[in-house]
């Protein structure tokens, strides 16, 4: 790891090293601010039109598609959803020219589709991803990539066989904040990582997945039979369709929805393959609306030492009963300082050295033979990196990464191997909670122990 940092500094050169790591050395100010800028990432000689289809036109599917269409030479040609109301809304939103269907296999037969966005409930991610890859389509699949760890290798194998570009939708992987944090950690800005923690808090019905059920959301307008065709059969229940995240047959709980973002960012920044021991506790404290998943979840994870990083521990928390609401962060703590990482900002805090005026500590120093010095008060060393105001955001950049790879035959920041290594500890966190036991995981070979 020390050799990695030496090589990193050599690559930067003297000027680059100072710019990346040492505003502290150049300034006595308590806080130094820097602007993160995005170089043109998505320009290439191949600027061909990519014809896109959306499978799953709910909240995230709409957001994904709107973001994708902000890129030049991207055209939406088809939409699939099991609820007819969303198909009607898609035509109103994006045009009557759209081909719409409730059957994703009909959509995948079309020759005029190059790539698909998969934003369905989690229990359909695996099958639709494999179907799309087998049909010769490039794939953007929302996180988590799979509904259970046993599905991961099936998707990875289908992707490798297809030769197509597949990216998983944890958009923070393409953020300016994560990229700067990765650079700073590799350069030794906070020393060796020893601990990390993340927190996600909400306090609203929508934040806790109590989504509105449309008036025409009934069995006549929803293909309920197809929705359940790969899971347990049940009588029609609009809550299980429109509020699917609350139920284990379809969703992956707080961990699969939110922890997976934190895992993706952490693994990108540290080059980690993931933890080898996982545990969880939590409970249903407030949203007692028939849901099957907790609304407070705590996860702890043990990361072994690897060539990429020192051994460290991770603590993740998610709280849907938070009176303060809206709190999200990822903190990485090292032997020399810490980083608070957001998609648009990184705050680096460095350890300070100073002589204490505490009589006990002064006496201990004297007994150790240290010379007496006058106490000094030093300002905290804090460096803030903030994204430029005209940055279009991590979501935009994530799609740009995918489109560029499609056009150039390149690679993406979050391929299915990366996506599964981020999803697996999130899914196993649920298993630990419901099975009330530690889970052992092999993050290199991606299998349970």
For position 160, which CATH number holds?
A: 3.40.50.720
Same-domain pairing of 197 and 274: yes
pTM (2 decimals)? 0.90
Does a structural domain hold residue 8? Answer: no
CB atoms within 10 A of CB 15: 8
Does a structural domain hold residue 62? Answer: yes
Q: Report how far residue 253's alpha carbon sits from residue 246's, in angstroms, rounded to the nearest whole number.
A: 7
Q: What is the pLDDT at residue 16?
A: 37
Same-domain pairing of 197 and 156: no
Q: Which H or E element spans position 392?
A: none
Same-domain pairing of 167 and 116: yes
Same-domain pairing of 80 and 189: no
Same-domain pairing of 235 and 359: yes
Q: Decide: 257 and 217 in contact? Cβ < 8 Å.
A: no
Q: Report how far residue 98's alpha carbon sits from residue 91's, in angstroms, rounded to the nearest whole number.
A: 6
Q: Report how far residue 445's alpha carbon sits from residue 6's, in angstroms, rounded to the nearest whole number.
A: 29
Minimal CA–CA distance to 146: which of 426, 394, 411, 433? Answer: 426
Does a structural domain hold residue 41? Answer: no
Three-state secondary-structure class, residue 297? strand
State the residue range of the domain holding 441.
178-388+416-448
Strands 277-283, 439-442: pairing kind = antiparallel
Same-domain pairing of 240 and 150: no
Same-domain pairing of 133 and 199: no
Among left, alpha and beta (phi > 0; psi -120 to 50; other), residue 266 is: alpha
Total domains in the fold of the chain: 2
End position of a domain, from candidates 151, 171, 191:
171
Q: Decide: 295 and 354 in contact? Cβ < 8 Å.
A: no
40-49 contacts at long range (C-beta below 8 A, 24 or more positions apart): 41/397, 41/400, 41/401, 41/404, 42/71, 42/400, 42/401, 42/403, 42/404, 44/404, 44/407, 44/408, 46/407, 46/408, 47/72, 47/73, 47/407, 48/73, 48/407, 49/73, 49/74, 49/75
Does a structural domain hold residue 295? Answer: yes
Does a structural domain hold residue 274? Answer: yes
End position of a domain, from candidates 123, 146, 171:
171
Q: Report how far residue 427's alpha carbon sits from residue 259's, in angstroms, rounded to the nearest whole number.
A: 9
Same-domain pairing of 253 and 139: no
- The CATH number that applies at residue 278 is 3.30.360.10
Q: Decide: 138 and 145 in contact? Cβ < 8 Å.
A: no
Same-domain pairing of 157 and 202: no
Q: Decide: 34 and 21 in contact? Cβ < 8 Å.
A: no
Q: What is the pLDDT at residue 373?
A: 62
Minimal CA–CA distance to 59: which of 126, 102, 119? Answer: 119
3-state helix, strand, coil in the chain (%, to 5): 35, 20, 40
- Which residues of the chain register pLDDT less than 50? 2-3, 5-29
Q: What is the pLDDT at residue 364?
A: 76
Among left, alpha and beta (phi > 0; psi -120 to 50; other), residue 31 is: beta
Longest dimension (CA), the chain: 84
Q: Decide: 5 and 188 in contact? Cβ < 8 Å.
A: yes
Minimal CA–CA distance to 181: which of 386, 30, 353? Answer: 386
Does a structural domain hold residue 10? Answer: no
Does a structural domain hold residue 424? Answer: yes
C-alpha torsion angle, residues 259, 262, 266, 268 (rounded to 10): 110
Q: What is the pLDDT at residue 174?
A: 96
Q: Which H or E element spans position 34?
A: strand 31-36
Residue 341 preceded by cis peptide, ω within 30? no
Q: Decide: 172 and 319 in contact? Cβ < 8 Å.
A: no
Does a structural domain hold residue 37? Answer: no
End position of a domain, from candidates 112, 138, 171:
171
Q: Where are the alpha helices (DSSP H) in 195-324?
A: 224-227, 238-242, 253-254, 260-270
Minimal CA–CA distance to 250: which of 116, 123, 96? Answer: 123
Tokens of 206: 């929508």
Same-domain pairing of 154 and 269: no
DSSP secondary-structure letter at 284?
Answer: -
Residue found by looking up tokens 């393959």 in the block: 273
Same-domain pairing of 228 and 366: yes
Minimal CA–CA distance to 384: which of 427, 355, 344? Answer: 344
Same-domain pairing of 251 and 281: yes
Q: What is the pLDDT at residue 32?
A: 72
């Amino acid at each position: 790891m020390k050799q990695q940092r030496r090589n990193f500094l050599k690559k930067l050169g003297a000027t680059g090293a100072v710019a990346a790591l040492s505003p502290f050395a150049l300034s006595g100010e308590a806080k130094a601010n820097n602007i993160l800028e995005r170089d043109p990432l998505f320009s290439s000689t191949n600027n061909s039109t990519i014809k896109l289809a959306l499978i799953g036109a709910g909240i995230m599917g709409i957001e994904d598609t709107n973001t994708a269409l902000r890129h030049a030479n991207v055209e939406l040609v088809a939409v699939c959803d099991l609820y007819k109301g969303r198909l009607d809304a898609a035509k109103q939103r994006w045009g009557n020219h759209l081909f719409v269907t409730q059957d994703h296999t009909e959509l995948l037969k079309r020759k005029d589709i190059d790539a698909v966005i998969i934003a369905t409930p989690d229990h359909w991610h695996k099958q639709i991803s494999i179907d799309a890859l087998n049909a010769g389509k490039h794939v953007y699949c929302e996180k988590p990539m799979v509904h259970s760890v046993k599905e991961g290798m099936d998707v990875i194998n289908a992707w490798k066989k297809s030769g197509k570009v597949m990216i998983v939708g944890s958009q923070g992987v393409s953020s300016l904040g994560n990229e700067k944090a990765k650079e700073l950690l590799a350069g030794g800005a906070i020393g060796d990582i020893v601990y990390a923690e993340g927190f996600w808090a909400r306090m609203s019905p929508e934040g806790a997945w109590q989504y509105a059920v449309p008036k025409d959301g009934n069995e006549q307008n929803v293909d309920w039979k197809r929705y359940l065709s790969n899971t347990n059969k049940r009588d029609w229940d609009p809550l299980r369709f429109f509020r699917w995240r609350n139920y284990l047959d379809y969703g992956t709980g707080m961990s699969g929805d939110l922890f997976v973002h934190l895992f993706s960012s952490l693994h990108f920044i540290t080059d980690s393959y993931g933890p080898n021991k996982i545990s969880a506790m939590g409970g249903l404290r407030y949203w007692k609306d028939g849901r099957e998943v907790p609304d407070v979840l705590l996860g702890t994870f043990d990361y072994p030492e690897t060539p990429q990083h020192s051994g460290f521990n991770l603590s993740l928390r998610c709280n849907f009963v938070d009176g303060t609401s809206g709190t999200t962060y990822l903190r990485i703590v090292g032997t020399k300082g810490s980083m608070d990482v957001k998609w648009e900002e990184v705050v680096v805090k460095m350890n300070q050295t100073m002589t204490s005026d505490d009589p006990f500590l002064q006496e201990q120093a004297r007994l150790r033979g240290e010379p007496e010095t006058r106490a000094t008060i030093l300002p905290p060393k804090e460096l803030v990196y903030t994204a430029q105001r005209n940055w279009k955001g991590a979501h935009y950049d994530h799609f740009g990464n995918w489109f560029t790879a499609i056009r150039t035959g390149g690679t993406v920041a979050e391929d299915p191997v990366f996506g599964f290594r981020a999803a697996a500890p999130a899914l196993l966190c649920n298993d630990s909670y419901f099975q009330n036991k530690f889970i052992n995981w092999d993050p290199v070979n991606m299998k349970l122990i």
